[in-house]
Chain A
Amino acid sequence: MQIALFCVLAVVAVVSGAAVFVVDSMARATYALALSFVAVGASLLLLDLAYLGVVTILMMVMEMAIMAVFMIMFMMNPAGLMPMSMLHNRRGAPAISGGIFLALGALVLLVPWPERRGTVPADPTRAVGEAIMGSKMLVMIGVSAVLFTTIVAALVLATSRGRYGDDEPAGYGHGESHGPHNGHGGGHDAHAGHGGHGGHGTHAAPPAAEGSGT
């Protein structure tokens, strides 16, 4: 049963991965890739790594939803109205990827896998974490909080001027203090530098400070 499930998931992963380069629409390509990742995440579930499998699916679906937006944004035809091709390097890329696939497949079949010693641990996810991180777990947990704070702070800084620039009314639930206008005529010069906007660096501090506290 497990073998059959694994085979189905493996075929889905490879076929939908190949479909990324066959389909003629950016949306289909993106979500074919998402399906491929979901199949990989589901195959982690077969290893009793419930948390890792479900989190992989969660992350990959979210990433692909965002990637679709960016891919279409940077496409040659923004609305996706015309068919497009994902193929570049038509000769080299299939040779490289096909060669790597065959080499890895051959390794799987040719390597003398060791016999299992011992039994499945009570919590395989914890065992995997210990094996990979070991003594560095605390550092990684600390780094994750710092990374997250950095992401939030960077976004707050990047989007400190709303769509309407200085005309955005301040005062729905967060104390945002805008600096002087400095002759900015509305929000049409969104690319202008932030020089002279007294309030802009400061309101990034509260979320960042609270974020690092956790």
Chain B
Amino acid sequence: MTVTGAPMWAVVPAAAVLLVMALAAAVLDAVFDTAAAGGGGTAVHGRRWSRPLVEVARLMRQRGRTTVEPDRLLWRIGTAGPLVAALLMAAVVPVGGTVVADLPVGIVWFNAVDVTLWAAVWLAGWGPNSVYPLIGGYRFVAQALGYELPLMFALTAPAVAAGSLSVGEVVRAQQGLWFAVWMPVAFVVFLGAVAALGVWGPFSSPVGRDAAGGVLAEAAGVDRLLLLTGRYALLAAGSGMAVALFLGGGAGPWLPGWAWSLLKTLAVLAALVALRRRLPVLRPERIVRLGWLVALPAVLLQLLVVSAVVVAKG
């Protein structure tokens, strides 16, 4: 399947699709959450699936919180950062045969945008001038050191196999055999990194309960809504990228390409959400150990295998 760039106005539906995906992730997360507590430890009434909508309404009405001597500018940047990053990532994720921005270096673009999270989450922690968010921000930078290099090499593997840094070319190179089949290590490492981008599951110590919510500790009202939406949106954008790079993009029988893209993205997203409560939260130093001593050598070997296959095929 060939991927072509879309006209300028496509950013609006693309952003809408990303937000719907984020909401789907939040609904799924609420359905899996069998404890009767909502986000802030407050009891939430009503059916579980409707909780995210109730929470959105609650946060829209809730008053924002300010602290003593905050750095407002940096706090705002950090609060908006995750959602903006997710939107920028979604710009290079193809849906079926169309993509908002058909960049020749789409994979590097995705990587550059995910690096901006280092800054954004740290700033969201620094801005309020409060101890627990600050701890959360530092935790994120520490574990980012652990996941970023494996993520970079996991992104390199499909690019080497396709001989291009364009996401559309990578999708096209998977005709007949998806990359997830013969690069399973890169695929798994990439999914782990997507969870890390969303501060999710094992990587959720920056917003951990042991730090009173970490980066989220002082965020209330619309600020909190933005941060939580950003988390789910990052998971959704990352899942979309995983589908494009490893699961053949919009390839599939009977249905049109865009439907396959969305279905596969939802499937990956559901897997990430479902695993959230199945895995323990890891301390950042353990994540760095795992990242550098296990994931990095494994994904480098994967890259060696991929490169050898590419050279052998000529």
Contacts and interface: CB of A to CB of B under 8 A. Distances in A.
B71 A65 contact: no
A61 B144 CA distance: 13
Contacts of A69: 138, 141
A172 B290 contact: yes
A27 B115 contact: no
A62 B115 contact: yes
A210 B304 CA distance: 9
A14 B245 CA distance: 38
Contact of B119 (A61, A156, A163, A211): A61
A54 B112 contact: yes
A155 interface: yes
A155 B285 CA distance: 13
B141 A207 contact: no
Given A51-B104, A214-B303, 14 more contacts: A27-B74, A50-B103, A50-B105, A54-B108, A55-B112, A58-B112, A61-B115, A65-B119, A65-B144, A156-B292, A172-B289, A213-B300, A213-B304, A214-B300
Interface of A: 25, 27-28, 31, 34, 50-51, 54-55, 57-58, 61-62, 64-66, 68-69, 152, 155-156, 159, 162-163, 172-174, 203, 206-207, 210-211, 213-214
A54 B118 contact: no
Interface residues of B, number: 39
A203 B138 CA distance: 28
B123 A31 contact: yes
Query: Which 3 A-B residue pairings sit nearest by Cβ, starting from the closest?
Result: A65-B118, A58-B112, A210-B297
B78 to A, nearest CB: 10
Nearest to A123: B104
B119 A27 contact: no
A101 B114 CA distance: 34
Contact of B74 (A28, A156, A203): A28
Main secondary structure, interface of B, reads helix
A165 B104 CA distance: 47
A62 B105 CA distance: 19
Contact of B104 (A50, A61, A210, A214): A50
A65 B141 contact: yes
A75 B189 CA distance: 36
B118 A163 contact: no
A155 B149 CA distance: 13
A188 to B, nearest CB: 17
A51 B105 CA distance: 6
A159 B287 CA distance: 13
Contacts of A68: 122
Interface string B181-210: 000000000000000000000000000000
A210 B301 contact: yes
Interface of B: 71, 73-74, 77, 103-105, 108-109, 111-112, 115-116, 118-119, 122-123, 126, 138, 141, 144-145, 148, 165, 285-286, 288-290, 292-294, 296-297, 300-301, 303-304, 307
5 contacts: A31-B119, A54-B105, A66-B145, A163-B285, A173-B294
Contact of B109 (A34, A54, A62, A163): A54
Contact of B122 (A28, A58, A65): A65
Nearest to A211: B300
B108 A51 contact: yes
B116 A172 contact: no
Contacts of B71: 25, 27-28
B141 to A, nearest CB: 6
A27 B297 contact: no
A174 B289 contact: yes
Nearest to A58: B112
A214 B307 CA distance: 9
Contacts of B109: 54
A152 B288 CA distance: 12
A68 B121 CA distance: 13
A173 B297 contact: no
A57 B301 CA distance: 28
Contacts of B294: 173-174
Contacts of B74: 27-28, 31
A152 B296 contact: yes
A60 to B, nearest CB: 9
Contacts of A61: 112, 115-116, 118-119
A206 B292 contact: no
A173 B300 contact: no
